[in-house]
Amino acid sequence: MSEDKVRLGVIGLGGRGRYFARAYDQHPESELVAVADPDPKALDRVRPAYGDRIDYYDDLDEFFSRDDMASVVIASPDFAHRDNAVQAFKYGKNVLLEKPIAQSIEDSDDIMRAWNEAKTVMTVGLELRYSAIFVAMRELVDQGLIGDIKMGLAIDNVSVGGNYFYHDMQRRREYTVSLLMQKGVHTIDLLNWYMGGTPTKVYATGSLAYYGGNEANDKRCRDCDQAGTCPFFIKPDKFVMDYGESIEKQDLCVFAEEVDVNDNSQLVISYANGTSAVYTECHFTPEYTRDFEFVGDKGKMNAQYNNECNFVIRNKYRGTDHIDEWHPKSSGGGHGGGDPLIQQAFLDWVRNPEKMDIEHNIAARDATCVGAAGELSIESGQAIDIPPCPEISF
């Protein structure tokens, strides 16, 4: 194992990309050497932080062609993931790809085939798998305390949905496609993980029930006469994400006519092992939590995650009133401690590729495909089959 620092670059300098750039620049085992973004203004925003220590690119071919930078983080907008990742693998790069993998089953599978051909390291940014509560849930499931899981339920309660997704271009389907992927893929991945099976079919319903309306498409918070009372008022120059990054954000009205991205969805997922699960997502609830329920042949597990890291897991058992309860503690960092751990995992896998968690990447593809199939099901009113993942032969 080499003790040299991992030299890497970051593509996409939105809030998440800037977060990754800073995290790896400060990490003792890595060296940030370059950033890339087609928008010159995005490059200019980060120059004061790094100066001449790194290089700046608006041309991805020039960025990827560096032979002294074997690893890249792709934090570009979701619609660019397919092209960016395929290009990175053609240049033989190791890739940390932000979630979701892509915005369709077909594009996700293009990425999987490109990775399989490149035979390099890939990590997908599903950092919640590393959060203390979800690691503890995995351990408890593996211990068999509630037996074999037969049915599952996961709920994304997203109180911040309006502020996160409906002030800017993410409120339009032509850009986002579906929040089932942009937001839901984290929780869908965890649901699939505990169900222990490969998702094969999805039936879904959904609607735009709260956001959108009759307001002008160019109406902004900064000019609104209801700014003092509207729960969705934001300051566009100082918007803080749940992983702590302060970003500039558009402040378009969440009740504008052009809003067409569903704000609630309900999915029924079938798995190859004969089990089934339900996933629901709502972007206008009063709380911001992820809630889980798993029913096994010996008992039931309930768990709740929130950003304040007040984690709780409760098990009930068949034939008894006894309840076990656990309160896992975050190790610190965004996403319940998951952010720094997945960043470390990527560095570890780059140094020791044989340790790469190939199943994690296949599961990330499956979670994206569930979201994509869910949106297709909502549109068509039909159940949608999920094709098998392309062959991965590491």
Token pair 């089990």 is at which residue? 275
Structure tokens belonging to residue 314: 């409760």
Domain membership of residue 2 (yes or no) is no
State residue 240's pLDDT score: 75
Domain membership of residue 101 (yes or no) is no
Identify residue 178 by its one-letter amino acid code. Answer: S
Stretch 373-385: mean pLDDT: 98
Domain membership of residue 45 (yes or no) is no
DSSP designation for 340: H
Dihedral over Cα of 159, 307, 242, 279: its sign: negative
Read off the pLDDT of residues 385-394 as tens digits, 9 standing for 90 and up. 999 999 999 8
Q: What is the pTM of this model?
A: 0.95
Stretch 139-153: mean pLDDT: 97
Cβ atoms of 300 and 175 closer than 8 Å: no
State residue 236's pLDDT score: 83
Instruction: Tell me the pLDDT band of 317, cut-offs 50, 70 and 90.
Output: very high
Structure tokens belonging to residue 264: 């609630």
Domain membership of residue 96 (yes or no) is no
* Short-list 341, 340, 345, CA closest to 71: 345
Report how far Cα 289 is from the mean position of its chain's Cα atoms: 15
Read off the pLDDT of residues 292-312 as tens digits, 9 standing for 90 and up. 999 999 999 999 999 899 999
Please determine, for residue 242, whether its predicted confidence score (pLDDT) is greater than 70: no
Cβ atoms of 155 and 183 closer than 8 Å: no
d(CA 45, CA 48): 7
Structure tokens belonging to residue 33: 């050497």
Is residue 129 classed as helix, strand or coil in its secondary structure? helix
State residue 32's pLDDT score: 98
Stretch 16-21: mean pLDDT: 95
State residue 108's pLDDT score: 98
Read off the pLDDT of residues 85-135 as tens digits, 9 standing for 90 and up. 999 999 999 999 999 999 999 999 999 999 999 999 999 999 999 999 999
**What CA–CA distances, in Å, run from 87 to 9, 64, 72, 114?**
14, 8, 11, 9
Domain membership of residue 303 (yes or no) is yes
Range of the domain at 268: 129-211+259-326
Q: What is the number of domains present in the chain?
A: 1
207: domain CATH number is 3.30.360.10
State residue 209's pLDDT score: 98
Domain membership of residue 123 (yes or no) is no
Q: What are the backbone angles phi and psi of residue 252, rounded to the nearest 5°?
A: -65, 150
Please determine, for residue 257, whether its predicted confidence score (pLDDT) is greater than 60: yes
Read off the pLDDT of residues 172-204 as tens digits, 9 standing for 90 and up. 999 999 999 999 999 999 999 999 989 999 999
Is residue 300 classed as helix, strand or coil in its secondary structure? strand
Please determine, for residue 235, whether its predicted confidence score (pLDDT) is greater than 90: no
Instruction: Tell me the pLDDT band of 244, cut-offs 50, 70 and 90.
Output: low
Is residue 369 classed as helix, strand or coil in its secondary structure? helix
**What CA–CA distances, in Å, run from 294 to 142, 201, 251, 265, 278?**
13, 19, 39, 20, 10
Number of continuous H segments (helices) and E segments (strands) in the chain: 12, 17
Domain membership of residue 277 (yes or no) is yes
Is residue 362 classed as helix, strand or coil in its secondary structure? helix
State residue 2's pLDDT score: 45
Please determine, for residue 1, whether its predicted confidence score (pLDDT) is greater than 60: no
Read off the pLDDT of residues 333-347 as tens digits, 9 standing for 90 and up. 889 899 999 999 999
Stretch 348-361: mean pLDDT: 96
Q: What does pLDDT average to over the chain?
A: 95
State residue 81's pLDDT score: 98
Share of the chain above pLDDT 70, in %: 98
Domain membership of residue 289 (yes or no) is yes
